């Protein structure tokens, strides 16, 4: 259950775009510098986001990238889906397409419940929420439990 580097970088880049939201676009290298991301790797990720309709790009003199929609209308899940495919998958396929037999039959509902849980978090948090440091109450309630911060 790991968040890939692509997903983490993509969300951070999107947050940077959501923050510096004035008329002028932001250069890829500026984002890479601010967030400490390999800038050539980041270019490929921004390209995916452009093809997915999340950002707009501008070439030339002082071009760069900017969000295609308002930060309130882009969820963290949207960003992850664009660069990484399905939010949560088992062995590369989405839960409803799996089939289990014997004593593992109830494993499918478990994965589905897990996915629903992850969706509740990531679909319900927008870039604006994170950038303004004001997470929804369902999320902040979890972070206030000190046990959430201990390792295993």
Partner DNA sequence: ATGGATTCCCACCTGTTCGCTAGGGTTCCC
Partner DNA sequence: GGGAACCCTAGCGAACAGGTGGGAATCCAT
- Interacting residue ranges for DNA, rule: CB under 7 A: 2, 4-6, 9, 27-29, 38, 40-41, 43-44, 46-47, 50, 57-65, 91
Around 42, how many Cα atoms within 13 Å sit in the side-chain half-sphere?
24
Q: What DSSP state is assigned to residue 72?
A: G
Shortest spacing between CB 60 and its own copies, in angstroms: 26
Q: Is 72 in the site for its own copies (CB under 8 A)?
A: no
Q: Is 84 in the site for its own copies (CB under 8 A)?
A: yes
Q: Which residue has the tokens 């500026």?
A: 30
3-state class (DSSP) for residue 133 = coil
Alpha-carbon distance of 61 to 24, in angstroms, equals 12
Shortest spacing between CB 117 and its own copies, in angstroms: 5
Shortest spacing between CB 132 and its own copies, in angstroms: 8
Q: Is 30 in the site for its own copies (CB under 8 A)?
A: no
Q: Which of residues 111-140 bind its own copies (CB under 8 A)?
A: 111-122, 125, 129-133, 135, 139-140
Binding-site partner at residue 70 among DNA, its own copies, none, CB < 5 to 8 Å by type = none
Task: Please classify residue 125 by burial: count the beta carbons closer than 10 Å to its beta carbon, then call 0-12 exposed, 13-18 middle and 19+ buried.
Answer: middle
Q: Which of 77, 79, 69 is nearest to 49 (CA)?
A: 79
**What Rg value do the Cα atoms of the chain yield, rounded?**
18
3-state class (DSSP) for residue 10 = helix
Residues engaged in binding its own copies (CB under 8 A): 1-5, 7-8, 11-12, 15-16, 18-19, 34-36, 76, 80-81, 84, 86-92, 94, 96, 100-107, 109-122, 125, 129-133, 135, 139-140, 142-143, 145, 147-152
């Amino acid at each position: 259950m790991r968040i890939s580097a692509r997903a983490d970088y993509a969300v951070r880049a999107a947050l940077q775009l959501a923050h510096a939201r004035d008329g002028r676009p932001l250069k890829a290298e500026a984002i890479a510098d601010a967030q400490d991301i390999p800038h050539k790797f980041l270019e490929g990720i921004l390209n995916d986001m452009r093809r997915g309709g999340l950002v707009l790009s501008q070439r030339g003199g002082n071009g760069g990238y900017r969000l295609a929609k308002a930060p309130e209308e882009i969820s963290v899940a949207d960003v992850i889906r664009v660069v990484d495919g399905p939010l949560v998958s088992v062995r590369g396929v989405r839960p409803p397409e799996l089939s289990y037999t014997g004593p593992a039959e109830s494993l499918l509902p478990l994965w589905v419940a897990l996915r629903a849980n992850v969706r509740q978090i990531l679909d319900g948090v927008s870039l604006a929420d994170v950038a303004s440091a004001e997470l929804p109450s369902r999320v902040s309630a979890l972070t206030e439990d000190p046990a959430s911060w201990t390792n295993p």
